[in-house]
Amino acid sequence: MTKWVHRFGQGKADGAAAMKDLLGGKGANLAEMANLGLPVPPGFTITTQVCTYFYAHGKTYPKELEAQVDAALAHIGELAGHSFGDATWPLLVSVRSGARASMPGMMDTVLNLGLNDATVGALARRAGNERFAYDSYRRFIEMYSTVALGLEHHTFEDALERFKESKGYALDTELKADDWRVIVGKYKAIVEQGAGRPFPQDPRQQLWGAIGAVFSSWMNHRAIVYRRLHDIPESWGTAVNVQAMVFGNMDETSATGVAFTRNPSSGARELFGEFLANAQGEDVVAGIRTPQAITEAARRADSQKPSMETSMPAIFEEFRGFAELLERHYRDMQDMEFTVERGKLWMLQTRTGKRTARAALKIAVDMANEGCITREEAIIRVDPASLEQLLHPTIDPSAAPAILASGLPASPGAAAGEIVFDPDEAEKLASDGRKLILVRVETSPEDVGGMHAAEGILTTRGGMTSHAAVVARGMGKPCVTGVAAIRVDYDDQSFSVAGRRFAKGDTITIDGSAGQVIAGVVKMQRPELIGEFAVLMEWADTTRRMRVRANAETPADARAARRFGAQGIGLARTEHMFFEGERIVAVREMILADDEAGRRAALSKLMPMQRADFKELFEIMGGLPVTIRLLDPPLHEFLPHSDAEIASVARAMGADPAKLRRRARGLAEFNPMLGFRGVRLAVAYPEIVDMQARAIFEAAIEAGLATGQPAAIEIMAPLVFSRAELDLVKARIVATAAAVENETGVAPSYQIGTMIELPRAALRAGEIAQTAEFLSFGTNDLTQTTLGVSRDDAGTFLGAYTEKGILPADPFVTIDQEGVGELVSLAVERARAARPQIKLGVCGEHGGDPASIAFFEKVGLDYVSCSPFRVPIARLAAAQAALGKTAESTA
Amino acid sequence: MTKWVHRFGQGKADGAAAMKDLLGGKGANLAEMANLGLPVPPGFTITTQVCTYFYAHGKTYPKELEAQVDAALAHIGELAGHSFGDATWPLLVSVRSGARASMPGMMDTVLNLGLNDATVGALARRAGNERFAYDSYRRFIEMYSTVALGLEHHTFEDALERFKESKGYALDTELKADDWRVIVGKYKAIVEQGAGRPFPQDPRQQLWGAIGAVFSSWMNHRAIVYRRLHDIPESWGTAVNVQAMVFGNMDETSATGVAFTRNPSSGARELFGEFLANAQGEDVVAGIRTPQAITEAARRADSQKPSMETSMPAIFEEFRGFAELLERHYRDMQDMEFTVERGKLWMLQTRTGKRTARAALKIAVDMANEGCITREEAIIRVDPASLEQLLHPTIDPSAAPAILASGLPASPGAAAGEIVFDPDEAEKLASDGRKLILVRVETSPEDVGGMHAAEGILTTRGGMTSHAAVVARGMGKPCVTGVAAIRVDYDDQSFSVAGRRFAKGDTITIDGSAGQVIAGVVKMQRPELIGEFAVLMEWADTTRRMRVRANAETPADARAARRFGAQGIGLARTEHMFFEGERIVAVREMILADDEAGRRAALSKLMPMQRADFKELFEIMGGLPVTIRLLDPPLHEFLPHSDAEIASVARAMGADPAKLRRRARGLAEFNPMLGFRGVRLAVAYPEIVDMQARAIFEAAIEAGLATGQPAAIEIMAPLVFSRAELDLVKARIVATAAAVENETGVAPSYQIGTMIELPRAALRAGEIAQTAEFLSFGTNDLTQTTLGVSRDDAGTFLGAYTEKGILPADPFVTIDQEGVGELVSLAVERARAARPQIKLGVCGEHGGDPASIAFFEKVGLDYVSCSPFRVPIARLAAAQAALGKTAESTA
């Protein structure tokens, strides 16, 4: 018989941490904690298999389930010493979701289940606290009715507000036991009216209603969106955890809290958390009351209210011990939930803690230095893509901006943008390319889309573990929470602070590292890559096999490339040097010239500019290899369009504007991607190659003399599909090198290679390698041609392709291994067979994508080249690839 | 020691027919004829190796050559009984080129070599004909001086014309011996002035001058052009043949002629040729005098002058015997040159005769029926591409046009166009797309370009073997020669006939099969494919393995496809059905609709039209398979551009024109080839698939009922690159089929397949074949993406690519085997591994190209599909491919 239900509690459990697939993360860790002997309220987990069954069988359950649940419920009763539905001492339970991957707040939860008109009195008597019992009952009615009966949350809130007004109450805490009893009555009336039947009094009926609601919430809209954003398969399903309730809100010796074994923002090795006395866990997470610090150290930095270390010292010590045990046991930073019920500590949850990229880096390096994990594990622990967050701008200290207000530094980095209040509007505006700061009193799971669309998030309520803070850290978005000084007026679409009013559309800057809000756009700076970052990079560098270069042609990019540790330039796009100022006119002259003489005249204007550009590049790279790609013009971008542009070129050429316009029109193409570009230009107009080769060689010689380091030149032909094209180009380059040597007495040292960016080039790589000394895969164009998809035009349909699962990912972000990848590996094989020592690299944007880098390691490329700011990502990803592993999700 | 010189004559030779590579075609056949015992004037061949040496060594000769030539010359003297330079009976020789492939008229020839001021007298005495001797001498001076000394031909002609005027002579025949002696003096003076030195008197100096001139002519401009047009490698070089002269112009018992063993125009089995009494061979070929028929039968059809059969009966019988011997020996129709010198027949040349496509077909079929060759050889003998000529239009008999003038039916087929006189102008006008008839008094090798550019050729002089006739037949161009009634006035750019004047630009029609000229454009008709054509096609059909289908969607094309023997439709492009009349408005409505409802509304307008189209197609094809490709729109072609177009669509949709314009602009693409087309449209808007599938199934059922033959439906998705896309489409089609079956009670029988036209599709063919029941290679798009070349834009650079030898041929005409071909064979392999019985075909334009068809046979495709008029070509090419051979050049 299938075991659909796994029990845990009192020092033992059916499950364990390794059974996440079956029990979900929460259930597996509850079982693990129970096995570790930690105080876990007894309970049981209904497996993810039941979820699968549920959806495969029209939302019905396996027939054995009911008996297994009943038995497990009875077992809880035995362990707790009182049973479900017991009229004198009723066992109450929580019913929570728990998927294999954490999906915080995305699915439904029901607490205090088992209360009814009879048991509420029993609870009051047993707890000696009537107010607590009726408050718990009204919470249960509200939660159960919205989750299981589909009623609107606000109906209950409105009723409560009206009642408070009628009594002149401002805060919930002012309500007494009798008030809550009245509210319970009102709530029950709301249910009867809204659901068409009375609120269910049978605890077993309540339980099955809640279980069904939780399973159903796997397919609610926000869960579906979250799964798509986080690549979580629908087929995994969720488990349901039913667990004895413990109450942090029973009295002042009760409390509830969440904590991390290390600081999830900075990564510092310090117990980090928040708690609320006399409260239920939802109060902390929802951010409705600003919680207190757990440790005294944290309190001092912060505020007035006592820390848990001070107010509950024994409990605190016990909890600190559990935290250390859990971190040692799981060998990673833990995120824990706990409740203290009348002086007894209960552990409700532990899981690997989400953290910022900065914290992930520090924790990995620290734990390796502590001997807790190996350096290889440290390398694997950090998601390379997350490093991009560390390359986020920070406020330039020299800017010394006037601080408008302060809050909590909930997610590091600085961001500036227009104020927007509505998350849906944020999504719309962002799709128009607007930079936004989402400003909310607090955020909820419905707001995730708008948070994703914004540059940064500001909330006026909530702490470091509030929804806004947790989600922003996960997204790597700067976030400031709990900025109490700001008063938001949603109706007016504005907020006021320090006597000033900021409306929608006004610009502000937030500093998520310092927790500050600033008016206007503040000057920012790139971070220095030191400390743990430098250490991890060093470990990565000694671990990886592939070299990492940068795609760069401007001096600024080349300098950034060196700063980020690039081992050379893998792609300098000479056409990018052709757009500036007077150059574009000379380029247009060249394109529109009637004959070779006209082209040579235009080229002779470009030659000194190219030479100066190359010289600076070689000097900056000081002897590191520099791969220069011969002109690969997007003809349609270079052509003059406006009358003014045509007139300007005509003047420079002394030509007839009308004739030029005709020629420009004649050069327009239907499919520029597949047109007269790349090496085709060199075949038709080899004098361009002569000019560029001469500029390169002369620049290299000059740079070599200037720096004392001989330049390492690699000249690359674009868009070849045959060896013959490369042979033609090579002959011109070799002849030019000989001429330069003849003139200067210096023999430039250089290699000649080619891009592999057309399917035919990949197929003929064996032949091409007989001429080429290196090959660089241009996977952008190779993707366009292999899939027949124009990157510029893919917007109309590529979304549907990833949504419908036709493609696993955007093939322009992560290499399409099955198509483009096969051509790459086939080309590698053939090129190596023809020339075993050939140098092989990639210079498409895939060169900076971790998943693609893992593939390039597998096929044995020698290097990847990517944009300068992705070089650190590539260094780490290459190390992980060399270890044969990718970063585990830190979720 | 290398044998640079091969001798022949008097019943034996050093060489043989098989040694064409070394001796050239002419030299090898002279040797073969000598070995056969035919009367061949003795001579020798300087090998093509000498030509190679000549160009590799700065136009010098191997050192052994001179001695070998001297010895061979002495040997000729021995066989002829008199020697070179002999002052009493001088041996005169001809010096002629002779390449491996025939290049008629492209290189230089020198005749009568050995004459000088001394030997001319000896020749006169020996021949007893002073006029003949001096005429021969002046011919030699003129020929030698233009060929070896680089003087202009017209200088000599002008001098002759002036002399004739001064004497009051109209014709050359009026000149007497003394007149020619004067001319010789004038010619020598021209040479001395033009060349700066006297005309060489030393025969050995003359000989080496002529040999050098012939080798040099291998690289003259027209030879280079001819080689490029006919794919003859420059590396082959030419041989030089030195041969004792025999004279057809010695007296009235002398003659010269050319003949074919069968009629080269019709292919009829009859000796076919022309001769001129008392003339040299060049007089026949040049077409200056209209020659007489060889056979009496031919004369009767023609004219007044006696045939050779009548005037020289013994010689004729001897020649007929030689002709039969040669045809039997070579097992093919022969083209022979002969000379009768004072009653003795000499054979000067034999070679495989050029022939029209019609003749090639008839000769191949006849010779197979005669048992001379096998049916397989007959199949291989006919160049499939030449069949296109037989599909040329002919004059519709019902047109009964008024004949303007008659001439010789020199090359069959009818053509109409504007009159043009200048060949260069013809080339220019043709490049603007103008249809032209080139009208000339006679043509010469310089005119080949203009002949190629014209639709047809008309000459007022010359016979069936004149330059115009031979070249036109080779080109498959209609040609009428010898239209004596037409008088051309080049200066006025007009001609007059029967009192009417026709100027440049006026339109005429020529009928090359009947030899007629007609004013204006006459109604033409497609030929019936009967007789030998049908026989050869039947043999081809029983020989070939691959099936042949047609690409067709209109009823006219589908009918043509059946008439030409297509075994089904391999590609019906549904978007082609969308352009007409009101349809385009509905199509635009569909494209521009905001939502599915809007698209469905537009589709419901298109549905009945599609169904009617498909029904007619199925009815015409009567049970043969019909592959219908789902909509693959070139969006940019369908989009409305003009305000009127937008207004019309807006009216139909009841939509705002401004909004429509915006949406149309939003759908414009940078690279439409790689854009939102093919199956991508079906993925985004599956309702289009629903409509088309329903139209197909309902049409098939209706057609099946109407014809009694169930339609064989194949539905094909375009532009897939993954199995998932096809799965989506297939699900819609299967569902629609089920719905139609449900409604009609008839289950349509159909297959679902896909195009393979993207590199990724070829790579994933194994997976795709798990869903697809057939694959059709779309090699047009596959070529575009594999090479990264847009067919629409390739004009700017593809020419340079074939000229520089980077590509062996236009990859859109003949499949690029090394690139595209590898993807095709890889896909075939993977698809067959996944689904051994999968049906594989090609529907790109390569499906009608013989060289590509040979490749498709090799990789094992099941069928090719091409445009209806190429179906016969494909049937024959497929048969040749199955035999593993391609047609031998009939050159």
Average pLDDT rounded to a whole number, residues A480-505:
92
pLDDT at position A35, please?
96
pLDDT at position B580, please?
67
pLDDT band, residue B386 (cuts 50/70/90): confident
- Mean pLDDT score of chain B, rounded to an integer? 91
Give me the catalytic one of A51, A479, A843, A866.
A843
| Paired tokens of B91 | 């041996």
| Residue A286 pLDDT greater than 70, yes or no | no
The b-or-e profile of B406-443 (16+ CB within 10 A means b, else e) is bbbbbbbbbbbbbbbbbbebbbebbeeebebbbbbbbb
**Quick one: which H or E segment has residue B255?**
strand B255-260
Backbone CA torsion sign across A442, A486, A279, A112: negative
pLDDT band, residue A546 (cuts 50/70/90): very high
**Residues of chain B positioned with their CB less than 8 A from the CB of A729:** none
| Residue B463 pLDDT greater than 60, yes or no | yes
Contact flag A819-B721 (C-beta cutoff 8 Å): yes
* C-alpha torsion angle, residues A790, A794, A795, A796 (rounded to 10): 120
Q: Are A242 and A93 in contact (CB under 8 A)?
A: yes
pLDDT band, residue B301 (cuts 50/70/90): low
The neighbour count for residue B185, using CB atoms within 10 Å, is 11
Residues 108-147 of A with CB under 8 A from B: none
pLDDT band, residue A469 (cuts 50/70/90): confident
What is the phi/psi pair of residue B491, to 5°? -60, -40
SS3 A448: helix
Give me the catalytic one of B75, B843, B846, B866.
B843
What does the pLDDT look like over A765-784, one tens digit per residue? 999 999 999 999 999 999 99
For residue B674, give the nearest of A667, A684, A789 by CB distance. A789
pLDDT band, residue A646 (cuts 50/70/90): confident
For residue B792, give the nearest of A671, A728, A759 by CB distance. A671
Listed residue (A330, A334, A328, A331) closest to A271, CA to CA: A334
| Residue A588 pLDDT greater than 90, yes or no | no
What does the pLDDT look like over A61-77, one tens digit per residue? 999 999 999 999 999 99
**Quick one: which H or E segment has residue A511?**
strand A507-511
For residue A793, give the nearest of B669, B764, B787 by CB distance. B669
Distance CA A457, CA A427 (A): 13
Distance CA B33, CA B37 (A): 6
Q: Are B292 and B300 in contact (CB under 8 A)?
A: no
For residue A806, give the nearest of B725, B801, B805 by CB distance. B725
| Residue A345 pLDDT greater than 60, yes or no | yes
Name residue, tokens 């009594």.
A167
What does the pLDDT look like over B78-117, one tens digit per residue? 999 888 888 888 999 999 999 998 887 889 899 999 999 9
Average pLDDT rounded to a whole number, residues A332-345:
95
DSSP letter at A402?
A: P
Q: Are B634 and B672 in contact (CB under 8 A)?
A: yes
Contact flag B788-A790 (C-beta cutoff 8 Å): no
Kindly list the strands in the beta sheet with B12-13, ordered across the sheet, starting from the edge strand earlier in the chain: B12-13, B5-9, B43-46, B238-244, B93-99, B109-113
Distance CA B293, CA B291 (A): 7
> How close does chain A come to B793, measured CA to CA in Å?
6
SS3 A335: strand
A399 lies within 8 A of chain B by CB: no
**Residues of chain B positioned with their CB less than 8 A from the CB of A786:** 721, 758-760, 763, 785
Residue B377, CA atoms < 13 Å, CB-side half-sphere = 13
| Residue A173 pLDDT greater than 90, yes or no | no
Q: Which residue has better confidence, A640 or B729?
A: B729
Q: Are A713 and A628 in contact (CB under 8 A)?
A: yes
Residue type, B168: G
pLDDT at position B889, please?
34
pLDDT band, residue B891 (cuts 50/70/90): very low
pLDDT at position A889, please?
34
| Residue A398 pLDDT greater than 80, yes or no | no
A683 lies within 8 A of chain B by CB: yes
Average pLDDT rounded to a whole number, residues B804-814:
89
Contact flag B790-A683 (C-beta cutoff 8 Å): no
For residue B806, give the nearest of A719, A724, A784 by CB distance. A724
| Residue B864 pLDDT greater than 70, yes or no | yes
Average pLDDT rounded to a whole number, residues B447-469:
86
| Residue A883 pLDDT greater than 70, yes or no | yes
pLDDT at position A845, please?
82
Residues 755-774 of B with CB under 8 A from A: 757-760, 763-764
E-strand ranges in A648-760 read 712-717, 750-756
Instruction: State yes or no: is B467 an active-site residue.
Output: yes
pLDDT at position B285, please?
63
What is the phi/psi pair of residue B501, to 5°? -115, 135
For residue A800, give the nearest of B683, B793, B818 by CB distance. B683
Average pLDDT rounded to a whole number, residues B821-839:
98
Contact flag A790-B721 (C-beta cutoff 8 Å): no
> How close does chain A come to B263, measured CA to CA in Å?
46
Comparing A613-622, A715-724, B378-387, B615-624, which segment has the lowest mean pLDDT? B378-387
Q: Are A422 and A505 in contact (CB under 8 A)?
A: no
Instruction: State yes or no: is B843 an active-site residue.
Output: yes
A669 lies within 8 A of chain B by CB: yes
Contact flag B674-A786 (C-beta cutoff 8 Å): no
Average pLDDT rounded to a whole number, residues B705-728:
96
B804 lies within 8 A of chain A by CB: yes
Q: Are B243 and B211 in contact (CB under 8 A)?
A: no
Give me the catalytic one of A6, A75, A467, A846.
A467
| Residue B588 pLDDT greater than 60, yes or no | yes
Non-local (6+) Cβ contacts of B485 within 8 A are: B405, B406, B497, B498
> How close does chain A come to B779, measured CA to CA in Å?
13
pLDDT at position A591, please?
83
Distance CA B313, CA B288 (A): 26
Give me the catalytic one of B392, B467, B479, B866.
B467
Contact flag B671-A667 (C-beta cutoff 8 Å): no
The neighbour count for residue B35, using CB atoms within 10 Å, is 17
A–B: how many Cβ contacts below 8 A? Answer: 165
| Residue B890 pLDDT greater than 50, yes or no | no
Chain A: residue nearest B634 by CA? A670
Distance CA A578, CA B486 (A): 63
Comparing A530-544, B12-26, B76-90, which segment has the lowest mean pLDDT? B76-90
Contact flag B674-A793 (C-beta cutoff 8 Å): yes
Distance CA A264, CA A274 (A): 13
Percent of chain B with pLDDT over 90: 68
Non-local (6+) Cβ contacts of A154 within 8 A are: none
Contact flag B787-A760 (C-beta cutoff 8 Å): yes
Distance CA B61, CA B65 (A): 7
String of DSSP letters for B804-844: TTSSSS-TTTS--IIIIIHHHHHHHHHHHHH-TT-EEEE-S
Contact flag A788-B823 (C-beta cutoff 8 Å): no
